[in-house]
Amino acid sequence: MESGAKKADLTELSRVRERVTFLYLEHAKINRQDSAIVVIDTGGTVAIPAALISVLMLGPGVDVTHRAMELMGDAGMSVVWVGERGVRQYAPGRALTHSSALLVAQAKLVSNNRLRVGVARQMYQMRFPDDDVSTLSMQELRGKEGARVRRIYREESRRTGVEWTHREYDPENYQSGSIINQALTAAHAALYGLSYSVIVALGASPGLGFVHTGHDLSFVYDFADLYKAEVTIPIAFTVAANATEQDDIGQLTRLAVRDAFVDGKLMIRMVADLKMLLGDVDDDLDADVVNLWDDKLGLQKFGVSYRESTEDGQS
């Protein structure tokens, strides 16, 4: 039986903002050696410390052992399975934080219409820094955002010379899309993976969205939309402008996006933005504390053998 290393303590794991953004692998075997994942392919064998990777994207032809997946979960690494046709399935590791502070704050904000609209306006305000959107309705914000995105596509088309008609993505047939649509799909997939990783690493919920709703990745779509116009859309158009029909558009786009994530220190911004949107919770997110909730007495100690009491508190 394979012997494994002791599960890493939270203090031993790299903070999310200090990790490499994502790593894409295909046609490889993945195993585990102590606290590293071991990747074996035709090029040789490489050991990668699990605590340094934020998102692992697994493409076609990947075999991964149960022990390797156990390590990824313990290290708080997000795993994104990427099919040949662009179909994705997300599988999270455990959050790097043991605190539920951000999750509780998020649930409170999304459960109150007034507070929810306030967060949605904040997210739109980040995209319209020169305009005041504090009084706009959700319908007005959607219309304003739609016009902005269409304008960005037109501007990128003029900048790069890439013909643009409309966004088209068939999850059942990735290759059927135009080069620019394939590049956009690959770029956004990487951004969704990074957004997902930051959200779950800090203990928030990927499913509690403020603009998008009803999907287990609603907040991922909300969060990723903050960065598409600045990062993934320009990269996709640049890749499409320089690519040929023989090129692997997905690979070229992923490499370009990866470099932009690292060079632009996007993960550091994402961590700060997420905390700002959810109220910049003061609780120590590194704390490993469990309390009991009481509707009258507030938080009570966990691990105490409580005695039966009457309503007035007398034993």
CATH of the domain at 244: 1.20.120.920
Looking at residue 287, its amino acid is: A
pLDDT for the residue 212: 94
Please check whether residue 306 lies inside any domain of the structure: no
Same domain, yes or no: 75 and 113 = no
Task: Give yes or no for residue 62 having a pLDDT over 50.
Answer: yes
Please check whether residue 312 lies inside any domain of the structure: no
SS3 48: strand
What are the DSSP calls for 237-286, one per residue?
A: HHHHHH--TTS-HHHHHHHHHHHHHHHTTHHHHHHHHHHHHTT---S-TT
Could you give the number of structural domains in the chain? 2
Instruction: Answer yes or no: pTM beyond 0.85.
Output: no
Q: To which H or E segment does residue 129 belong?
A: none
> Could you tell me which residue, 286 or 315, shows the higher pLDDT?
286
Half-sphere exposure of 160 (CA within 13 A, CB side): 21
Cα end-to-end distance, the chain, whole Å: 53
Q: Picking from 2-11, 72-81, 94-103, 225-234, which range would have the lowest pLDDT averaged per residue?
A: 2-11
| Residue 145 marked in a binding site | yes
pLDDT for the residue 285: 54
Final residue of a structural domain among 91, 112, 130:
91
- What confidence tens digit (pLDDT) does each residue in 69-117 have? 888 877 777 787 776 545 566 666 666 677 788 999 999 999 999 999 9
Same domain, yes or no: 154 and 270 = yes
For 265, the token pair is 């220190």
The mean pLDDT of 132-140, rounded to a whole number, is 93
Please check whether residue 311 lies inside any domain of the structure: no
The mean pLDDT of 306-312, rounded to a whole number, is 59
- What confidence tens digit (pLDDT) does each residue in 247-281 have? 889 889 999 999 999 888 898 899 899 999 998 66
pLDDT for the residue 141: 93
Please check whether residue 176 lies inside any domain of the structure: yes
Same domain, yes or no: 134 and 59 = no
Please check whether residue 135 lies inside any domain of the structure: yes
Q: To which H or E segment does residue 123 belong?
A: helix 113-127
The mean pLDDT of 17-46, rounded to a whole number, is 84
Same domain, yes or no: 74 and 106 = no
pLDDT for the residue 136: 93
Same domain, yes or no: 49 and 124 = no
Sign of CA pseudo-dihedral 242, 247, 252, 254: positive
Among all residues, which ones are annotated catalytic? Answer: 45
Final residue of a structural domain among 61, 91, 121:
91
Kindly report the number of other CB atoms within 10 A of residue 107's CB atom.
15
Query: Which residue range forms the structural domain that includes residue 131?
Result: 101-277
Answer for the pair 152, 233: CB distance below 8 angstroms, yes or no.
Answer: yes
Final residue of a structural domain among 26, 59, 91:
91
| Residue 27 marked in a binding site | no
| Residue 212 marked in a binding site | yes
